[in-house]
């Protein structure tokens, strides 16, 4: 809740600052006849709109889950970021078109000392605002604030270029405003595309940060009964909401009530410390015998020699049925996973004809290899 308050507070500050800049630049642009300054004012108006969208998106994102959306509304923040990215793209394209028109028509602006001073003030305000909003966005893990902050920083560059163009015009009587506008418009469009792609990536599903997965593994491995942690899968439903699953390896002599207690402790621990709802699956670990150790070592060596296979885990031998089960983690680059599985099974069946093998293919969903 505190995070959402800070995001809204930051957005309100950005709205006020942008409306102030709209007024300053609008008046100066009309007086000087500068297309660049007027476009800058329009851009500040779009920035204010971006902040309004951020507030609306944040309000919706914190709505409680319901029957229709049981995982909540957290991903609305990503849609908000996409909307802001589109606004940035439109601003960049519009700036490009206006700059091209000013070059074609040979439009020249006139600047006064007051207008130059106002531009300097606008650059300073936008630079400070951009840094403030972006830092807040990084602190509170808000893609929409980061996008708004990035946009504001580019605006400060646009305003600075207008100042440079004005000084060149005054000193050398040469108009470079349109050319600078085109260069900056291209940079702005590039930034908009990058923000758009990042937000789309979040909706599609990005790999979870390795720092988080490492911490989760360490927390789970702190329990003495846990002999290994595997198959961590996390689905993200907003910047602060994860739902996932993990497998732990425990001794096959543990009783059901002991496993029940262990998994309860782990799920509670992970939710309390990380806010993650997680389901815990079980791999049983054999009481080791010479025969089982030899089989496991052979399979480990066999898979280690194959660059397509990243890890083997979940190894278990059922003595009564002579069934051996294990999982292998493979690269995403493997084109024919079924063929790889069949080849491996064939080698094992030749080596150990008295056993049946049950092999599961896993993908490298997290950085626990």
334's tokens? 């493997």
Count of C-beta atoms within a 10 Å radius of residue 307: 9
> Along the 369 residues of the chain, how does pLDDT read in single tens digits?
678 888 889 999 989 988 888 888 788 778 777 666 677 777 778 788 888 888 898 889 888 999 999 999 999 989 988 988 898 888 888 888 888 888 887 766 666 777 777 778 888 888 999 999 999 999 988 888 888 888 788 778 877 877 888 888 788 877 787 887 788 788 888 888 988 998 999 899 889 889 999 999 999 999 999 999 999 999 999 887 899 999 999 999 999 999 999 999 999 999 999 999 999 999 999 877 788 888 999 999 999 888 899 999 999 999 889 999 999 999 998 989 999 999 999 999 999 998 999 999 999 998 887
Residue 36 is predicted with a pLDDT of 62
pLDDT for the residue numbered 170: 80
Q: Report helix angle 35-61 to 177-204, nearest 10.
A: 10
243 exposed, middle or buried (CB, 10 Å; 0-12, 13-18, 19+)? Answer: middle
* pTM attached to this predicted model: 0.78
pLDDT value of position 96: 87
CB 17 within 8 A of CB 62: no
Of 90, 126, 108, 104, give the one whose Cα is nearest residue 18: 126
Q: Which two tokens stand for residue 293?
A: 């150790």
pLDDT of 34: 66
- 190's tokens: 């590039």
Q: Tell me if 68 sits within 8 A of 90, measured CB to CB.
A: no
Q: What structural domains does the chain harbor?
A: 2-204 (1.20.1510.10), 210-363 (3.30.70.1350)
Task: Mark out the alpha helices in the chain (DSSP H runs).
Answer: 2-32, 35-61, 76-105, 113-139, 143-172, 177-204, 210-221, 256-274, 290-304, 337-351
CB 283 within 8 A of CB 251: no
Query: Are 151 and 111 within 8 A, CB to CB?
Result: no
246: β partners: 280
d(Cα 188, Cα 34) in Å, to the nearest integer? 20
pLDDT for the residue numbered 339: 94
Q: Name which of 127, 49, 136 is nearest 88 in CA terms.
A: 49
Contacts of 214 (CB under 8 A, 6+ apart): 367
Residue 8 falls in which region: left (phi positive, over 0), alpha (psi -120 to 50) or beta: alpha
Tokens of 121: 């003030």
Distance of CA 230 to the CA centre of its chain: 23
């Amino acid at each position: 809740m505190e995070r959402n308050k800070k995001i809204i507070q930051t957005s309100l500050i950005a709205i006020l600052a942008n409306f102030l800049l709209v007024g300053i630049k609008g008046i100066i642009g009309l007086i000087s006849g500068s297309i660049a300054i007027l476009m800058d004012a329009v851009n500040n108006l779009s920035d204010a709109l971006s902040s309004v969208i951020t507030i609306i998106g944040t309000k919706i994102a914190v709505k409680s889950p319901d029957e229709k959306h049981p995982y909540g509304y957290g991903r609305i923040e990503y849609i908000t970021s996409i909307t802001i990215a589109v606004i940035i793209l439109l601003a960049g394209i519009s700036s490009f078109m206006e700059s091209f028109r000013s070059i074609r028509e040979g439009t020249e602006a006139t600047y006064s000392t007051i207008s130059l001073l106002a531009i300097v003030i606008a650059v300073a305000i936008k630079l400070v605002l951009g840094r403030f909003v972006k830092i807040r966005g990084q602190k509170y893990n808000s893609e929409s604030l980061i996008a708004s902050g990035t946009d504001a920083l580019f605006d400060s560059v646009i305003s600075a270029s207008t100042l440079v163009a004005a000084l060149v015009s005054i000193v050398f009587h040469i108009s470079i405003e349109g050319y600078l506008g085109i260069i900056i418009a291209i940079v702005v469009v590039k930034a908009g595309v990058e923000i758009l792609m990042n937000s789309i990536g979040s909706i599609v599903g990005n790999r979870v940060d390795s720092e988080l997965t490492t911490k989760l593994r360490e927390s789970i491995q702190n329990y003495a009964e846990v002999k290994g942690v595997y198959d961590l899968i996390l689905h993200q439903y907003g910047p602060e909401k994860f739902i996932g699953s993990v497998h732990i390896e425990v001794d096959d002599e543990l009783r059901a009530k002991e496993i029940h207690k262990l998994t309860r402790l782990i799920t509670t621990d992970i939710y309390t410390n990380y806010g993650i709802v997680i389901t815990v699956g079980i791999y049983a670990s054999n009481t080791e015998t010479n025969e089982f150790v030899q089989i496991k070592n052979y399979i480990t060596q066999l898979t280690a020699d194959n660059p397509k296979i990243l890890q083997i885990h979940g190894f278990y031998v059922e003595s009564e049925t002579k069934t051996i089960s294990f999982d292998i983690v493979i690269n995403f680059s493997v084109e024919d996973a079924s063929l790889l599985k069949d080849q491996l099974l064939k080698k094992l069946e030749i080596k150990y004809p008295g056993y049946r093998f049950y092999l599961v293919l896993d993908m490298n969903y997290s950085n626990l290899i």
